[in-house]
Structure 1
């Protein structure tokens, strides 16, 4: 069963990300995205029944993202870290 889905959107060189809660009921969720140089970061964290985000970033190419979800911040279903939530040119 898929616990969460990470969506990323691009519009005019800027991007946003949403972490969708596929489990139902409020769960701990953390979503963090930055520009490739590590600046201009945006974070959304808390207990959400639908989704975390949107979080926004300018200069979206190769934007690093961290997405976490679980029953608590220390009991996670997943802890996803990637440099490539948005496409690299």
Structure 2
């Protein structure tokens, strides 16, 4: 006498993943303002003043992710905005 085995039902197909949301497109004025800002930025590199790690900064302002060292604000190559320059709009 032979026993028959029941086979398991196949698993249902997984639900399709939804399409990722597309990136929002900024209005032309915002894009132009951002482009003008980025044109004035310069990525620079130096050695950390404390641990010697090579670090990169923007406009001569650095912060080391290894030891936490930062260079003084006055060592940057551009003027920092003042409180009155901040647009809260």
TM-score where L is the length of structure 2: 0.22
Larger radius of gyration: 2
- Normalized per residue, which structure has more strand? 1
Q: Which structure has the higher relative contact order (CA within 8 Å, separation 6+)?
A: 1
